[in-house]
Amino acid sequence: MLRRPLLTLLVAGMASATGFAPLSLWPVLLACLAVLLWLVFAAPTLRSALLRGWVFGVGHFTIGNNWIQHAFDYQDKMPPVLGYFAVVLLALYLAVYPAMAAGLAWKYGRRGTTPDAPYVLIFAVGWIVTEWLRATMFTGYSWNPLGVAWLPLLGIAQLAQLIGTYALSGVTILAAGALLLLVRRDWKLPAALAGVFALALVFLSPGARPDYPADHPRVRVVQPNIGQEGVSDPDYAERVFAALIGLSGGPGPAPRLIVWPEGMVNYYIESGYPQQWYWQGSAEMVRRRIAALLGPRDRALVGGNALLFDEAGTVTGASNSVFVVTPDAQLAGRYDKAHLVPYGEYLPLRAFLGPLGLARLVMGDIDFIPGPGPQGLAVPGFGTIGMQICYEIIFSGQVVDPGHRPALLFNPSNDAWFGSWGPPQHLAQARMRALEEGLPILRATPTGISAVIDADGRLLASIAPGTADAVEVPLPRPHPPTLFARLGNWLALLVALLFAGGAIAIRRFAR
């Protein structure tokens, strides 16, 4: 047995983060998880098993969330070095969840002197439950669930259509456990899992991409490649607006849906505010400049902010919004982001934390107010479009209004804050939502990675990071509702119960 298991687990946890984008070294992830399963099994006490799971998690989340530090580079109220401490502090908390999974596996799955299939199954149960808890507790943080690592093997990732991402994370634990059992010359679980994967690769891999007629609606995704560096410059708002307009093209023979990134229109778009709020120009003129890009059947989805007032006309907050702009320069709908980012879009306990010197990472003194939740906006010619702004897209089972299934999802984002690792990880999680729901997703960001994702999770078109460009393709069609779209994360509970039942049955059969 290793003499320094905690150091080994810390290194394994750090290496496991390379299994996600941008590196996507999924075999490394599986090998590191196998080390975790082995050393947790070998723990002499429950307390040491919990500690081993926690140490692995600290390494895993510190490396996986390194991109968060980059947000502090744009915050003049707090030094950038504080970002490194923030990443570690977040990892110290997030590591509680793999620690709980390790403790559950040690207490209820560990028998005998060597790991066996029931132990692996119980560990998978613990991971499913705790990963769901991580996505739920304290507003939730479901970044990089294990299941997203299967995207390079799209046929296996397609299992998310049937069971969802959190249950697929449990399958990932089974795959890591199968490696461990192979070393022990235990072939049954590895053989069964290999059969499932083979069937998935054969029967669930996406087919050929469909052809569309010439008059099929098209989507144009715009990426201006303007980040946060000059946000305080007096010409920033106009420079961004002009870049968006310049990349949006002109009308064609087919209806076009033009989509712009989150928050990139720095002018107010709505009319009716007190006059002092229009210091940057007329809202009607802003809409007219957008409408000038549109043909009679075109529409634009633009990201901006709306102000919220009380009955006395006092500003109570702002909303992070998407507006539907029509060819006659009117607004045909507005979606307000519901799942806000703590410390990014609002400061929790502001009355207490503000005097301590803490501030939002995103500049501005007005907190955002959450909207009502997943909603769709009816856009003539394009159907109902579901909206998920930035961070909202990472929450499995929470992206669609179950009573009004949309034809597609729009995910405007601003990933310019998040270095080189954050944007590809964010894109990967958007692809998982497309798989789960059977819906295409349009993703527009200011600096990348913007993309059109089909209902099978494939990238139909994308714009590389650091590139000013636009892509225009036929609007992909949705699939019929998937099993996950119908049942949601109840399937994660069902899979967890099946794994637990399998572990019990194997143990009883062995007796």
Residue 243, CB half-sphere, CA atoms under 13 Å: how many? 23
The answer to whether 94 and 107 are in contact (CB under 8 A) is no
- Encoded tokens for 420: 């080189």
CATH architecture type of domain 218-474: 4-Layer Sandwich (3.60)
In whole angstroms, what separates CA 340 from the centre of its chain? 13
* DSSP element (H, E) containing 383: strand 383-387
The answer to whether 209 and 454 are in contact (CB under 8 A) is yes
Amino acid symbol at 446: P
Main-chain phi, psi angles of 233, to 5 degrees: -70, 145
Residue 288 clears pLDDT 50, i.e. is over it: yes
Rg (CA), the chain: 24
Residue 337: closest CA among 297, 386, 293: 386
Considering only 4-18, 267-281, 328-342, which range has the smallest mean pLDDT?
267-281
pLDDT digits (tens, 9 = 90+) for 461-496: 999 999 999 999 999 999 999 999 999 999 999 999
The answer to whether 451 and 440 are in contact (CB under 8 A) is no
**Cβ neighbours of 313 (radius 10 Å):** 8
pLDDT digits (tens, 9 = 90+) for 40-49: 999 999 999 9
| CA pair distance 457, 169, nearest whole angstrom | 17
pLDDT digits (tens, 9 = 90+) for 179-235: 999 988 888 999 999 999 999 999 988 888 888 888 899 999 999 999 877 777 888
- Encoded tokens for 113: 């002197």
Boundaries of every domain in the chain: 5-205+489-510, 218-474
